[in-house]
Structure 1
Amino acid sequence: MEDLLQVGVITTTHGVRGEVKVFPTTDDANRFKKLKEVILDTGKEQLPLEIAQVKFFKNLVILKFKGIDNINDIEKYKGKSLYVTREHAVKLKKDEYFIADLIGMRAVTEEGEELGTIKDVLQTGANDVYIIKKDGEDELLVPAIKDCVKNVDIEGGVMTLHLLEGLRDINKK
C-alpha cells in the first residue's frame, strides 16, 4: 500500500505572492479546506508545506503556502505533485478504496481464473471502471459495481470478480 496519496498537481502560479493553481486529483476538492499540510514531491525530495490559504477557481484549487511569499520561490514546482500521508487522507466508507491501492492488484474470477492486473481505474459519472491487462490479451473493462466486484483483499493484493454475461464479448476488438 502507498504511504503517500496524491491529492493534486501544481499547474501554474497565481499572482506574484507565491500562490499556485492546483488541479485536484481527489474526488472532492473541498477537502483542501480541511488540510493543514501537503507534501510536495520535487523529484529530488519531499517537502512538507503548510497550507496558509485555500481558494477555489473553476475546477482548480488556489493554494498559498506558509513561508512562500514570492512567485520565484514556487514557480520551479509547476507540474509537481502534492501528496498527503495516509493518516491525513479522507476516511473511506465501507467498500471504498484508494485508486493507488487498487492499481497493480491481481484480478481473478470467482472460479479462480487469472484475469490479469488492474492497470488503471476510469472514473465515469455513473461508476468507476477497472482496466485489467493480461499479457498477450486485450484489455478487459469491468464496471466497479456490486454485481461484478465480489471481494477486494487489499492486503493480499487480489480482487475477485464476477464477469456478467457478455462482458468478455463487449471487450473484444
Structure 2
Amino acid sequence: MEKWFNVGKIVNTHGIRGEVRIISKTDFADKRYKSGNKLFLFMPQSNTPIELTVKSHRTHKNFDLVTFEGHDNINQVENMKGGILKVSESQLGALEEDEYYYHEIIGCTVTTLAGEEIGEIREILSPGANDVWVIKGNGSKEILIPYIEDVVKEVNIKDKLIKIDPIEGLLS
C-alpha cells in the first residue's frame, strides 16, 4: 500500500484565475510547488486521489498560492476547498546531509548529552532563519528547541533519538 505525506490544505481560492490558497505542512515548499511537479488531491468525500500538476507558485502573507495545469478559473478550483494535497513516498527524494523530513523528526525522543530525557518532538515550526522543534516535556510544559548546530548535536532517525546541548535558559 502506498504511503502518503501531507503537503498542505487548500483553504480557499484566490482571485478568479484558478489560484488556490494553501496552508502548507511541507518541509520544502519551494521543491513541492515547483512548476511541473505532481501533487495528489485527497477530498474528504472521496477515496480516489486526483493527480494535479503545478503550473505556478508564489507566496502571499502566510499562504502558498498555487495554480494547476488545466484549471484556469475559479469555477474549476472552487470544489477543491478543504482538500489535502499529498505526495507519495516515492516522490520524497534524497536529502543533503543533516537535512530531514518533518515526519522523520516528529516523534523522536530528545535527550541532553548527559542523558537526561527532555521529551518528544510533537511539531515543527518554520518561523524564519531556522526551524524550531516543539517538544512535549515530561511535565505539561512545551519546550522550544531551535534546530541550530550549537544546540542539536546528534540526530539518529533510525533509533528516533536526538541529543542536544541546551544553551543557558533553554530548558527553564
Residue of structure 2 equivalent to 1:32: 33
User: Could you report, residue by residue, the CA deviation over 1:69-99 in whole angstroms, capped at 9, with x for unpaired residues?
Assistant: 7856643331222111233236422111112
Q: Distance in 2 between matches of 1:62 and 1:14?
A: 9
Q: What is the Cα-based RMSD across aligned positions, in Å?
A: 3.0
Stretches of structure 2 that go unaligned for 5 or more consecutive residues are none
Kept after mapping to 2: 8 A contact 1:16/1:70: yes
Report % sequence identity.
33
Q: Give the counterpart of 2:169 among 151, 154, 166.
A: 166
Q: Give the counterpart of 1:103 among 103, 106, 110.
A: 106
Map 1:1-173 to 2 at 5 A: 3-13=3-13, 19-23=18-22, 25=24, 26=26, 27-29=28-30, 31-43=32-44, 44-51=46-53, 53-54=55-56, 56=58, 58=60, 60-66=64-70, 74-89=77-92, 91-169=94-172
How far residue 132 of structure 1 moved from its aligned partner, in angstroms, is 0.9
SS of 2:166's partner is coil
Kept after mapping to 2: 8 A contact 1:52/1:63: yes
Greater Cα offset, 38-47 or 150-159: 38-47
SS of 2:125's partner is strand
Stretches of structure 1 that go unaligned for 5 or more consecutive residues are none
Output the amino acid matched with 2:40. I
How far residue 119 of structure 1 moved from its aligned partner, in angstroms, is 1.2
Q: Distance in 2 between matches of 1:103 and 1:10?
A: 23
Kept after mapping to 2: 8 A contact 1:115/1:134: yes
Q: Distance in 2 between matches of 1:141 and 1:57?
A: 26
Greater Cα offset, 146-155 or 23-32: 23-32
Greater Cα offset, 27-36 or 91-100: 27-36
Q: Tell me how many residue pairs correspond in the alignment.
A: 166
**Residue 137 and residue 9 in structure 1: after superposition, are their counterparts in 2 closer, same or farther (change >3 A)?**
closer
Give the TM-score normalised by structure 1. 0.76
- The ranges of structure 1 where at least 4 consecutive aligned residues each deviate by more than 6 angstroms after the TM superposition are none
Give the TM-score normalised by structure 2. 0.76
Q: Distance in 2 between matches of 1:55 and 1:28?
A: 9
Q: Distance in 1 between matches of 2:48 and 2:135?
A: 31
